[in-house]
Structure 1
């Protein structure tokens, strides 16, 4: 039954080579090798590692305000005030990246650290210097900086104007992007404008937990969605028109792609609608030939809005000019992926929940975990590697032979444990799926582990660990130590193979690289 369900899942994907290899993803790639030029890296985000929340004149972000307020519902009221103290200990991060032999390090810039007021009227020399030093030392170590302009860290001054639900943010983000390009584009050639619009919009406003803790699931997620697309396009156009000729870099947007499969063969159409409703809303306007929202999503939202008594769709339309402005504004497809869900219609009397974690109110659907899944520390992220391959093939089927860059993939653990065999297994199995997808014809050029070091994991605080390197949060110096997964990843990078000499990890433990 399981085989029949997957075979029938998508006719375009069904014909791919992986159905002749191993549907369940248990067989190794025939080569086990990554091709020449394939890039390996790791990632972090500013609020989660930097600390120095008010150092050297930094302005407050929406997360600073939330975790300093009475509404702080985080893990034992922990905050990111110090985090891994990368504002002061950033050289330790560079050393960790260099010791593993990373090709690149993806990090984000804190908007209020560069612009304390959120606007370009005040530029922080200390903030500018911090990122400039980090970039220079990375380059000196032979590590390419991959820079994210926005990773959830909005200045409170802009949030107080409505944040991502105010169309003004399109121009404000453009001003910020132009300034950052002018400071660093001579040394940075790969840019991510915005990280995970589905988190910024859907997760934030549907649940009301993430900063700025506003719950308004009717209009806010879709206003935010449109403004994220326009703000990204604004930043892309600025780079394209003012910096590309001189700097020759690439720009994209990183979307979180939850792979969705049908619970039964009857749910095939619903599964595809679910993909378009989550992935498509943040990808179709950029990567499709026609631009704008996915047609099935537009149709769905018109029907839902009409039933609810609204004269217009809750999904705000793009004008023809806006469609053209957004269309084509990415030089590669940047995706974050962690997990897979199964989708089915909500039953009579069953609440569908909201999209991203529980299901979708608009789709009247419920998400379930794949049968037989295993888990790390987060039960919202079942481990299901085959979904990654199917997702990568779906991206190619939807958007053509686009360059794909995996900008995040990783597993959460908890507690103090340097022997993280479960993370080694996760990374190996998910990288295997990348190789298999590449054999299918998907043009994947890079892979990024989330995360380089342990960080402040939002409302899980310091309890949840994603790091290849453990951070001692009791040590004032926030010392870093490599986990087994760091040694494993370093050996994969060194040999460019998933299977490498058994002596490699032991040599690294003994201090030999």
Structure 2
């Protein structure tokens, strides 16, 4: 049984759906620049038009209403609001598009989405914007600055807006569930602990637990630096006492969960300064887990229950919103997407168990995504939507998947159960 007022939603992100990349005074974002460089994205796809939600926002609203959602998670394009990247020029047409003055109605705010992905994939692996490959250094610095920026934003909201608007602010942390390949082997257990520290712990520990990075993360980075003769002190920055405090700067835990992994030691090779060698843990797929359309996404519904319990036990039992969770489809279009229907049914059942049996304080669930959209380096070749978007159609026609219909039925059922 889900609690009264439980948020049933779906999520999107600005660059992935809006299009209108030069419309009404918008500036270029790092993703605009990245996608316009050859060879960066599958099929040379880009988000110049995407779902064209900038013009077709009313169609999106119809989709939201058709599903019976109680909440919708969207993002704001800062390059649309602040075209030159500073507050010197605020684009009023961007403000009008988002109605940025709606703080009196929006009660849940997220400052940064998936800082791990931005730091590692964008600044170490180079497969996301801005496409930098600076292993072992840039990702940690970028992650640190995102945490500092988040803390500043939280304190600003807390002092200037919360007394009147009474909203809540957090950052969305993505994490797989991981467990040792051989639970009886101490080395495998330690590798799993390190991997969790380098993913969820990297951003959860400073905000929810200690105000600093996990000790297991810092000691591993320092040890690898010394082993390879790195000069210049720790590659993992420290928080300054002169800056706004990071600990406590989240009013709820926003979790993006997609998959699980088994873990064993190794995989870092021990020869280079990079995150993989720092954490010295290798991820392994359990052959019993089915794979969704993309190779990285093993379907493990009970992983979300285990991860929710881990968050409850290690992060002081926060209120949790599952802000992203979904199932990918590739290849031939399947409107009758039975596997995704089963995925949502099984996953939401595991969330219900976490709430009812484990007493995890889960407040909401947001499916990724409302629409098929631009899926970053995969372009439009990967489809996560509850509604299919025909990217060959200039009108970007939306068609509900079977999974969208089934999700709507689940929402109605659980809402009906809550009212009894």
Query: TM-score, length-normalised on structure 1?
Result: 0.77
Residue by residue over 1:99-141, the C-alpha shift from the partner in whole angstroms, topping out at 9 and shown as x without a partner, is 1110100000000101111111111122111112xxxxxxxxx
Distance 1:446 1:353, change over 3 A: farther
Q: Does 1:308 align with 2:228?
A: yes
Distance 1:246 1:349, change over 3 A: closer
SS in 2 for 1:52: coil
Correspondences of 1:259-274 after superposition (within 5 Å): 259-264=177-182, 265-266=184-185, 267-274=188-195
**Paired residues, number:** 411
Match of 1:4 in 2: none
RMSD: 1.9
Distance 1:93 1:397, change over 3 A: same
Match of 1:82 in 2: 49
Q: Are the equivalent residues in 2 in contact too, given 1:492–1:498 (CA < 8 A)?
A: no
Match of 1:327 in 2: 247
Q: Are the equivalent residues in 2 in contact too, given 1:373–1:384 (CA < 8 A)?
A: yes
SS in 1 for 2:310: helix
Residue by residue over 1:441-466, the C-alpha shift from the partner in whole angstroms, topping out at 9 and shown as x without a partner, is 11001000000011011121111100
Residue ranges of structure 1 left out of the alignment (5+ in a row): 1-32, 133-179, 500-513
Match of 1:479 in 2: 397
Match of 2:287 in 1: 371
Distance 1:498 1:461, change over 3 A: farther
Which of 124, 139, 143 is 2:91 aligned to? 124
CA distance in 2, matches of 1:382, 1:226: 30
- Post-superposition offset of 1:347: 6.9
Match of 2:378 in 1: 460
- Post-superposition offset of 1:363: 2.1
Relative contact order, higher structure (CA 8 A, sep 6+): 2
Correspondences of 1:255-404 after superposition (within 5 Å): 255-264=173-182, 265-266=184-185, 267-288=188-209, 290-309=210-229, 310-322=231-243, 325-346=245-266, 360-404=276-320
Correspondences of 1:126-145 after superposition (within 5 Å): 126-132=93-99
Q: Does 1:434 align with 2:351?
A: yes
Match of 2:162 in 1: 244
Q: Which moved more, 1:436-445 or 1:448-457?
A: 436-445
Q: Are the equivalent residues in 2 in contact too, given 1:42–1:451 (CA < 8 A)?
A: yes
Match of 2:64 in 1: 97
Query: TM-score, length-normalised on structure 2?
Result: 0.94
Match of 1:34 in 2: 2
Q: Are the equivalent residues in 2 in contact too, given 1:255–1:282 (CA < 8 A)?
A: yes
Q: Are the equivalent residues in 1 in contact too, given 2:179–2:263 (CA < 8 A)?
A: yes
- Post-superposition offset of 1:478: 0.8
CA distance in 1, matches of 2:2, 2:415: 6
Distance 1:481 1:354, change over 3 A: farther
Q: Does 1:188 align with 2:156?
A: no
Q: Are the equivalent residues in 2 in contact too, given 1:305–1:311 (CA < 8 A)?
A: no
Which of 226, 230, 250 is 2:148 aligned to? 230
Q: Which moved more, 1:410-419 or 1:439-448?
A: 410-419
CA distance in 2, matches of 1:78, 1:349: 34
CA distance in 1, matches of 2:136, 2:268: 22
Q: Are the equivalent residues in 2 in contact too, given 1:258–1:338 (CA < 8 A)?
A: yes
Q: Are the equivalent residues in 1 in contact too, given 2:268–2:277 (CA < 8 A)?
A: no
Residue ranges of structure 2 left out of the alignment (5+ in a row): none
CA distance in 1, matches of 2:115, 2:279: 19
